[in-house]
A and B are shown apart, each in its own frame.
Chain A
Amino acid sequence: GIQVEQSPPDLILQEGANSTLRCNFSDSVNNLQWFHQNPWGQLINLFYIPSGTKQNGRLSATTVATERYSLLYISSSQTTDSGVYFCAVSNTGKLIFGQGTTLQVKP
């Protein structure tokens, strides 16, 4: 099956800093999504982005499908951005999740 690797595993930022999270995957995919899991466990869908670039406020994502990676950019980070960010991919209808990047934004 598809392997998904996320980096870095942990990230600590000061409020206002920018960051880039990476997701590598081992096979071609037709579905790639980024999620944010808040401290209460709720998973929020950030982007559906199997290819190309999207932006939503301070967040943006780029997927280069031919090179099998996706990047999530967080600009001007806020303490509410803290949590775990997951990348999930699929080419069969089953979403496979990476291990996540745990982000802590300090005030």
Chain B
Amino acid sequence: DGGITQSPKYLFRKEGQNVTLSCEQNLNHDAMYWYRQDPGQGLRLIYYSQIVNDFQKGDIAEGYSVSREKKESFPLTVTSAQKNPTAFYLCASSSGGTGNTIYFGEGSWLTVV
């Protein structure tokens, strides 16, 4: 099936540990994105990448890191520097450019214990 696959669906992390969320797409999309959603809130952009080996910070990049070594993969690392990491994380992709539909994965729930 074509789409965006995020894993794991649920993740628990101890304070002080880094954790990496996986995002893979087989839609042949150039652009990929990571958003964070807190309960009852909208989505906020963490990082985005419009092409392989290039990415830009979004509005809340502090405490996060990404890589884009392959077109189909855009993993997000939540580092210990992120002060409040418990949230719902959504990965998305689009064909690129400013006027294209964006598609989302099913999301990953991260809880820091």
- Chain A residues at the B interface, C-beta cutoff of 8 Å: 1, 30-31, 33, 35, 40-45, 48, 50, 86, 88, 90-100
Some 24 contacts from A to B, beta carbons below 8 A apart, are A30-B98, A30-B99, A31-B99, A33-B101, A41-B88, A41-B109, A42-B107, A43-B90, A43-B92, A43-B107, A44-B104, A45-B102, A48-B100, A88-B43, A88-B102, A90-B98, A93-B31, A93-B50, A93-B98, A95-B33, A97-B35, A97-B44, A98-B42, A99-B41
Is B45 on the interface with A (CB-CB < 8 A)?
Answer: yes
The 5 closest A-B pairs by CB, nearest first: A43-B104, A97-B42, A97-B43, A48-B101, A99-B42
Specify which chain B residues have a CB less than 8 angstroms from the CB of A48 in the assembled complex.
Answer: 100-101
Is B63 on the interface with A (CB-CB < 8 A)?
Answer: no
Specify which chain B residues have a CB less than 8 angstroms from the CB of A45 in the assembled complex.
Answer: 101-104
Specify which chain B residues have a CB less than 8 angstroms from the CB of A50 in the assembled complex.
Answer: 99
- Cα A86 to Cα B42 in complex, Å, equals 8
Min C-beta distance of B66 to chain A, whole Å: 15
Is B48 on the interface with A (CB-CB < 8 A)?
Answer: yes
Residue of A35, A43, A45, A94 with most chain B CB atoms under a 10 A cut-off = A43
